[in-house]
A and B are shown apart, each in its own frame.
Chain A
């Protein structure tokens, strides 16, 4: 049966074209992957839980999060954006690579208030939560600091919470290059960057076509369906005031 594993969005590879393969060394073992594969794709074949945040198979490498860094031929590289080359020697577990990934995650968490216990996105598929666990983050090196922006609740179907946004840019990539409505961008030059709609207007006033791509690819709870709020976490349906206190409490006991 012709199951269609190759995502249509992934690029111009024709199915059936017998792609040549390359072999390389991964953590001391030989591995063989189709030519053109990235290191991250190759690593995920062997270690499905290998950390990565901004990479999504429908979007390709975005290179904003730095959490997938490995050593390739002695140099630290982003696995998501590095093509596998013949006889390359790749080490995922070196001290330097681990430190880089850990530092990257610490940087992300500076932009993300950890209140997973009461979060509506904590239902198994929160990429940030899972990656923090995979990296054994127990202490947050850079304390979370709020961004000087209000939540945007203007859209009827979804909200944007800048304080939860790790600026991975998945939403931007999805909007610019998969949906290609070209609404979202990150204003990188601000003191505290954030995702903006059009030229920085409330979502409801923008050219957003409400396709939902951005919400679907958001690796945390920054972009959430409003219908999920207060409904889908382990401890949901809390009043805003109680939620705030719970968030405060969980920050004491949770990683970070």
Chain B
């Protein structure tokens, strides 16, 4: 027994932020044990958090730094790798200036590591060219919230979602992307009478269970949202007092909604008048409404506008700042919230303090002891374009499979080929690493201390379970090593030292201290100096000078049009078992056995029209590239809409060979969801890609519960109680 260690960690996968004990013996994980102490999940887990950790001991882990020599990668010592990297960075900066190098931080890394990455970019290297993958997902949601309510984060907690009497889910598939969060909705819906309204192209788990499922045309959510908001205002089904006391801009909003009649919405979205009215009625009947949204909203050219429209709807109906209400832009990665919080974006220092505010810059200059760059930096989208334009010469990517997960992968990889210097820091030899000049072996979450911030703005500590594998090092140590090579006097001994510095600078994290986060304790930002945190935002005021939320008129951006030959719409996203490009989950044999590869979901009508069956091999050809993989025929999708999960590292399957470089105008988030292809049948039939062990082949058996009355009715049951049980 003494050999078994129990160590608390926070899950490395999605943004729900499950925490649990890892039981380990040597380097073997015996089990993952969640408990009621865990603030986000209690005893809940999903397949990845409970069983998805074998990758930690994968023989494919990077164990030594690699340098490219004569077109081959050779293992070298850390000393050599760091000296090489530092000297190349120095040389590039001397030759082209600090803004010729870009830095990509990681939503898989800790807050402390993200903080160091942006500090490295700004204070050591002198540029604001720093970004992270929140640009790929929820930056438009952050934008919508910051415009209207002030903070770029979920307004409440998961238990608020459980307590709502109406949950609206738009362009999100929590059952697969945020599995544990989705359990709270299903439970409330099944047991406590919560109503569920889903707007999605695809019949995913929550759509199938919804009281009302809207299936609008792709990219038209803004229109029905505005039409319903307009209708609610017309009917007077709004929170007049909230509007009067806590918001500004109603007249402008009202005027801007004039074109959004129900008839117009019917015409654009394809939704029926009846469903639009039912939507308004359900919202009107709700005392506590939460709206959840994700990539189906944000990954469009109008992602920020639609996110803003959601915020307007919540404000008009007064569903903000009370328990059981609010806006929930579900964060995709375990620490994508934290990566943003830590200032890994061109415009923001930690805590979303603006780089272009001289007072803010002065504060950080005093603390860091160096002048800070004033030039606006490049985000990751602009970095790719700057490489193609010959302006960006070097790129340092920490924990991001950018070659596959950025949109228009062919374009991104062509850019990587043009770089003078590509530094890749990762746990595995990724596709991105193939383009690198130097590859630095990093540690996954189980091999380090630090903190993650989940979708609820909840900061939680993870404790080191294992020592680093091989010669790999935690990212924060690599950054410190590299900074010292470049002359910076970084002496952090432990991630807690870094958090102390963060708390001394970033207002949102002011009261965050490791001792306040011990074990399963957590804090939800903003955290005051005295440690008081904020599970529920905006209970009294919005963080604007007048304390009021701002209603913001929006404009609909129709989705991209494609030539007629591209007649199949490619919806894309996640599946439950795998995560992102799958570098972790395909290295879990049990998961890989259940879902060995991604597959494209095709509707029965499209399969019939094109003359192929389940198991067929199809080629999808967009104007930007092509993929080839097997299809499964399912009514989860309809008509000419197909669904392609992003979960693969194999080139011939990866959706981002199809996506374009189009993006949300405000945030530059790629329009991943605006993809059209030509579908070619390669083999009209074949083995189904949905294999034995895939839960989608099963047949659930819903019951009220354990149905103990059936036990009591057995002839051999003799009661031990004196009266019928009071249920």
Contacts and interface: CB of A to CB of B under 8 A. Distances in A.
B641 interface: no
A12 B162 CA distance: 7
Nearest to A13: B163
Contacts of A82: 725-726
Interface in B476-521: 516, 521
Nearest to A177: B705
B521 A3 contact: yes
A180 B727 contact: no
Count class of interface residues, chain B: 35 or more
B187 A69 contact: no
Contact of A103 (B39, B43, B711, B720): B720
A156 B590 contact: yes
Nearest to B25: A231
Contacts of A8: 42, 157-159, 162, 184
Interface string A157-189: 100000000010100111011111111111011
A188 B523 contact: no
Contacts, number: 241
Interface in B186-217: 186-188, 190-192
A180 B190 contact: yes
A35 interface: no
Contacts of B34: 216
A213 interface: yes
B30 A212 contact: no
A64 B706 contact: yes
Contact of B30 (A179, A215, A217, A231): A231
A9 B162 contact: yes
Nearest to B576: A209
Interface in A57-79: 57-58, 61-64, 66, 69, 75-78
Interface stretch (B45-53, B72-80, B426-434, B632-640): B45-53
Contacts of A151: none
B43 A216 contact: yes
A104 B726 CA distance: 18
A212 B184 contact: no
Interface string B684-705: 0000000011011111111111
A114 B710 CA distance: 27
A1 B723 CA distance: 44
A58 B187 contact: no
Nearest to A191: B716
Interface stretch (A128-136, A198-206, A248-256): A198-206
B701 A185 contact: yes
B576 to A, nearest CB: 6
Contacts of B25: 231-232
A237 to B, nearest CB: 10
A189 B710 contact: yes
Given A180-B190, A189-B710, A69 B46 contact: no
B32 interface: yes
A62 B524 contact: no
Given A176-B704, A209-B47, A188 B710 contact: yes
A49 interface: no
A197 B699 CA distance: 9
Contact of B698 (A177, A193, A205, A232): A205
B43 A188 contact: no
A221 to B, nearest CB: 12
B350 interface: no
Given A8-B162, A76-B721, A169-B708, A210 B188 contact: no
A64 B705 CA distance: 12
B716 to A, nearest CB: 9
Contact of B44 (A6, A9, A64): A9
A240 interface: no
Given A7-B36, A9-B42, A81-B727, A1 B533 contact: yes
B426 to A, nearest CB: 26
Given A103-B720, A180-B186, A156 B705 contact: no
Contacts of A213: 43-45
Given A66-B720, A176-B706, A188-B714, A77 B46 contact: no
A104 B717 CA distance: 11
Contacts of A184: 701
B594 interface: yes
Contacts of A28: none
Contacts of A16: 323
B207 to A, nearest CB: 15
A227 B725 contact: no
B468 interface: no
A27 to B, nearest CB: 19
A204 B692 contact: yes
B87 to A, nearest CB: 45
B183 interface: yes
A169 B43 CA distance: 16
A186 B521 CA distance: 37
A206 to B, nearest CB: 5
Interface string B348-368: 000000000000000000000
A76 B722 CA distance: 5
Contacts of B187: 9, 177-178, 180
B43 A225 contact: no
Contact of B706 (A14, A76, A186): A186
A176 B714 contact: no
Contact of B157 (A4, A11, A173): A4
B36 A57 contact: yes
B444 interface: no
B287 to A, nearest CB: 11
B707 interface: yes
B552 to A, nearest CB: 30
A227 B50 CA distance: 11
Contact of B723 (A75, A177, A199): A75
B4 A123 contact: yes
A94 interface: no
Contacts of B255: none
Contacts of A81: 725-727
Contacts of A193: 711
B721 A64 contact: no
A242 interface: no
B710 A198 contact: no
B28 interface: yes
B688 to A, nearest CB: 14
7 tightest A-B CB contacts, nearest first: A207-B698, A156-B590, A212-B50, A169-B706, A180-B186, A8-B159, A188-B710
17 contacts: A1-B531, A4-B535, A8-B157, A8-B162, A11-B191, A56-B43, A69-B720, A75-B722, A156-B590, A156-B593, A172-B706, A179-B186, A188-B710, A208-B698, A210-B50, A212-B46, A228-B23
Interface of B: 1, 4, 23, 25, 28-34, 36, 39, 42-47, 49-51, 157-159, 162-163, 179, 183-184, 186-188, 190-192, 323-324, 516, 521-524, 531-535, 576-577, 589-590, 593-594, 692-693, 695-708, 710-711, 713-714, 720-723, 725-727
